[in-house]
Structure 1
C-alpha cells in the first residue's frame, strides 16, 4: 500500500481530512503559491482532527535561497509547529543549485526527532541523486518530488529511478499534479507515498479590489474537495471500485 498525504490549506480542508483519514496531512496556507506557513490557529485545528499533521514551513513565496533572517523565522516556526502538536515539518532550502545543508541540519536539530520532509525545492536541484545522498545523511525523513517535472505522472521513469537510488535510506513521496486519473501510475513507480491536494475552486465576487492578486469582480479560491480526496485515498489503498 502506498501512503497518502493530503495537502490542505483551510479549516474546511482540515474537517475533510478528519473524515477521509489520509495517512498524513500536509498543512499549509496559499497552496496556489506552492504553500506558505499556516497560522497557529489552523495548526491547532488540524492537530485536533486526529490525523498526523506535517506543517509546511516556508516564510515567503518565491525561490528557496534563504538569508539568515529567513532561516531564523523558519527555525522559530519549526519549533512552534512541533510545540503545537505537529508530527513533523516540511521545509526546503537551496544554495545555488544544491541543498542548503546548513539550514537542513539546523531544522533536523530543531525538530528533535520529529519527522522532517524536504519539499519540492528538491525539484530545482541540479543533481537529484546527490541531493538524496546528502539529505539522507543529514537525517531528513522523506523527500517530496515530482521527479523534476511540473506533473509527477510525466516523470514516472525518473521517480522510479529516484526511488531505486533512495534504496530505503530515505522515503520518497511523489507529488505535483496528482489526481484520480494518474494516482495509480504515480504509485506504481515504487515511491513510499503520494501527495495530492484534491483541490476544487469556489467562485465568488469581490466588491472592491483587495490587492494585486485580488481584483474586484469575479474571483475564486481553492479548497479541498471531499469526493476527490476520498477517491485518491481509495485508489492508493487499493479500495477503488
Structure 2
C-alpha cells in the first residue's frame, strides 16, 4: 500500500501546487510558521474549495481539503468559550463543503479531552476527523489512540512525540502496530522529502509536511516586524510526491 501524501497549505497557490503533484489531501490553515497553524478564515476556505471544484472540473483528481480547527497558539487545553468556537468552526467547515477537519483538545492534566472530542466528532457529522499533534504531548499515546478510536476519529497526525517525525520512528511504529487499522496513523512534524522512505517503511497510512519556504517581508511595527511568512515550495512538494511513489 502506498502511503497518502498530505500537504499543509495556507492559500490557493499551495492547493494548486499540491494538486499538480498528486497529493491526496491538504490541510488548510493560517499562520503556519508563526503559530503552528490556526483556523483559516471563511474567505480563505471558500477560495480553496473553489480551486478544488475547478480541478475536479478539468477531470483531474483534486486533493481533499481538510481544515485545521484551532483558535489560538499555545497549549491544547480549551476553556468552554474556546470550545464553543471550535465547535462552530467545525460546523462552518462541514457546511462549506470541506472533506474533513483537524481537531484536538486535552485536559488540564494533559490527557485527551474526551467530552470535547465527542462534541467535535458529532459536529463534524459525516466528514473525516483528524486528531492533530496534541497527541505528541500526552504521557500515554497508546491509551490516547484507544480513546481516539472509541470516539470515531479517522486518523491521527503525530511525530511520534519527537520534534521531527524521523526522530520518533520507534513510537510511530508502536502506534501503527497498536492501531491495527482502527485509526489511520499519519507521520508529520519537520518532515523532509528524504525522510519519507524511512517513514513509509513503518507502515504509516500517510505522510504530512508543509514543504514550505520562507519569504522575507518587513511589515514594520504594526505588521510583526521582519517576521515574514511562508509559502508552499513546488520543488519540495514534487520531491515529496516522488518519495511517496518510491
* Residue of structure 1 in register with 2:82 after alignment: 70
The offset of 1:12, in angstroms, is: 2.5
**How far apart, in 2, do the equivalents of 1:107 and 1:18 lie?**
28
The count of aligned residue pairs is 233
* Residue of structure 2 in register with 1:36 after alignment: 38
**How far apart, in 1, do the equivalents of 2:214 and 2:202 lie?**
29
Question: Structure 2 residue aligned with 1:193, among 206, 211, 214?
Answer: 206
Q: Which moved more, 1:109-118 or 1:15-24?
A: 15-24
**How far apart, in 1, do the equivalents of 2:194 and 2:168 lie?**
15
The offset of 1:9, in angstroms, is: 1.1
Q: Which one has a larger percent strand, Structure 1 or Structure 2?
A: 1
For the residue of structure 1 that corresponds to 2:218, the secondary structure is strand
**How far apart, in 1, do the equivalents of 2:122 and 2:228 lie?**
40
C-alpha root-mean-square deviation of aligned residues, in Å?
1.2
The offset of 1:201, in angstroms, is: 0.9
**How far apart, in 2, do the equivalents of 1:84 and 1:231 lie?**
31
**How far apart, in 1, do the equivalents of 2:32 and 2:22 lie?**
20
Q: Which one has a larger percent helix, Structure 1 or Structure 2?
A: 2
Superposition pairs of residues 53-132 of structure 1, within 5 angstroms = 53-95=65-107, 96-132=109-145
The offset of 1:219, in angstroms, is: 4.3
What TM-score, normalized by structure 2, do the two folds share?
0.91
Question: Structure 1 residue aligned with 2:217, among 204, 212, 229?
Answer: 204
- Whether 2:11 is the aligned partner of 1:10: answer yes
Post-superposition Cα deviations, 1:49-85, rounded to whole Å, max 9, x if no partner, equal 3221000000111100001101100000000011111
* Residue of structure 1 in register with 2:51 after alignment: 49
**How far apart, in 1, do the equivalents of 2:50 and 2:243 lie?**
26
Instruction: Determine if contact 1:87/1:114 at 8 Å carries over to the other structure.
Output: yes
Post-superposition Cα deviations, 1:121-172, rounded to whole Å, max 9, x if no partner, equal 0001010000000110010000000000000000111111110000011110
The offset of 1:19, in angstroms, is: 2.2
Q: Which runs of 5+ in 2 are unaligned?
A: 53-62
What TM-score, normalized by structure 1, do the two folds share?
0.93
Instruction: Determine if contact 1:5/1:26 at 8 Å carries over to the other structure.
Output: yes
**How far apart, in 2, do the equivalents of 1:65 and 1:125 lie?**
12
Question: Structure 1 residue aligned with 2:194, among 181, 204, 208?
Answer: 181
Instruction: Determine if contact 1:4/1:236 at 8 Å carries over to the other structure.
Output: yes
Question: Structure 2 residue aligned with 1:229, among 210, 218, 237?
Answer: 237
**How far apart, in 1, do the equivalents of 2:245 and 2:51 lie?**
21
Q: Which runs of 5+ in 1 are unaligned?
A: none
**How far apart, in 2, do the equivalents of 1:147 and 1:201 lie?**
26
* Residue of structure 2 in register with 1:20 after alignment: 21
